[in-house]
Amino acid sequence: MTSWTRRAVLAGAAVAPLTRLRAETGAWPSETIRLVVPFAPGGSTDAAARLAAPGLQQRLGVPIIVENRSGAAGSIGSDVVAKAKPDGYTWLLTFDSHAVMPVLVPSLPFDIRKDFAPVTQIGRAPYVIACKPDKPYRRMEDAFEVAKRGNLSFGSTGNGTIGHLVMLMMLERKGVQMTHLPYRSGGLAVNDAVAGHVDMMIGSAALLAPQVSSGTLRPLLQLGAKRLSALPETPTAEEAGFQGLTAEAWWGVFGPAGVPESVLARFQAALIESYREPRIAKQFTETNQAELVLEDGPALARFVERQISTWGEVARASRVKPD
Residues 17, 20, 22: CA angle, nearest 5 degrees: 110
Cα distances from 123 to residues 9, 300, 323, in angstroms, run 32, 11, 25
> What pLDDT was estimated at residue 42?
87
Asked, colleague to colleague, whether 30-124+250-318 and 126-222 share their fold, the answer is: yes
> What pLDDT was estimated at residue 150?
87
Residue 270 to residue 46: CA distance in whole angstroms: 19
Residue 130 to residue 132: CA distance in whole angstroms: 7
Please tell me the total number of residues recorded for the chain in this structure.
323
| Each residue's pLDDT expressed in tens, for the chain with a length of 323 residues | 433 334 334 444 545 454 454 444 459 999 999 999 999 998 899 999 999 999 999 999 999 999 999 988 899 999 999 999 999 999 999 999 999 998 888 889 999 999 999 999 999 999 999 999 999 999 999 999 999 998 899 999 888 899 999 999 999 999 999 999 999 888 899 999 999 999 999 999 999 999 999 999 999 999 999 999 889 999 999 999 999 999 999 999 999 999 999 999 999 999 999 999 999 999 999 888 899 999 999 999 999 999 999 998 899 888 888 76
Q: Which residues pair with 131 in a beta bridge?
A: 218
Question: Among candidates 65, 78, 142, which has minimal Cα distance to 111?
Answer: 78
CB count in 10 Å sphere of residue 16: 13
Cα distances from 71 to residues 39, 79, 163, 208, in angstroms, run 7, 11, 17, 22
Sign of CA dihedral 303, 309, 315, 319: positive
The verdict on domain 30-124+250-318 having CATH code 3.30.360.10 is no
In the CATH scheme, what is the code of domain 126-222?
Answer: 3.40.190.10
> What pLDDT was estimated at residue 26?
58
Q: Which residues pair with 94 in a beta bridge?
A: 252
Cα distances from 161 to residues 67, 69, 127, 276, in angstroms, run 21, 17, 11, 27
Residue 46 to residue 274: CA distance in whole angstroms: 16
What are the extents of the domains in the chain?
30-124+250-318, 126-222
Residue 300 to residue 55: CA distance in whole angstroms: 22
| Range list of β-strands (E), the chain | 33-37, 64-68, 90-94, 116-131, 153-156, 179-182, 200-204, 218-222, 248-256, 291-292
Determine the 3-state secondary structure of 320 from DSSP. Answer: coil
